A = this chain, B = another copy of it.
Amino acid sequence: MTAVETACAPSGSPISGEDAARLAPVFKALGDPVRLRMASMIASRPELCVCEITPAFDLSSGTISHHLKILREAGLVDCERRGTFVYYSIRPAGLRSLSALLDLD
8 Å CB contacts to B: which residues of A48-101? 89-90, 92, 95-96, 98-99, 101
User: Chain copies in the assembly?
Assistant: 2
Q: Helix, strand, loop or mixed for chain A's interface?
A: helix
Task: Decide if A31 touches B25 in the complex (CB within 8 Å).
Answer: yes
- Starting from the known contacts A7-B43, A20-B36, A21-B33, 19 additional A-B residue pairs (CB-CB under 8 Å) come to A2-B99, A4-B96, A9-B46, A10-B44, A10-B45, A11-B44, A14-B43, A15-B37, A20-B37, A24-B30, A24-B35, A25-B31, A27-B30, A28-B28, A28-B31, A31-B31, A90-B105, A98-B98, A99-B103
- Chain A interface extent, by class: 35 or more
Q: Which residues of B are found within 8 Å of A10, using beta-carbon distances?
A: 44-46
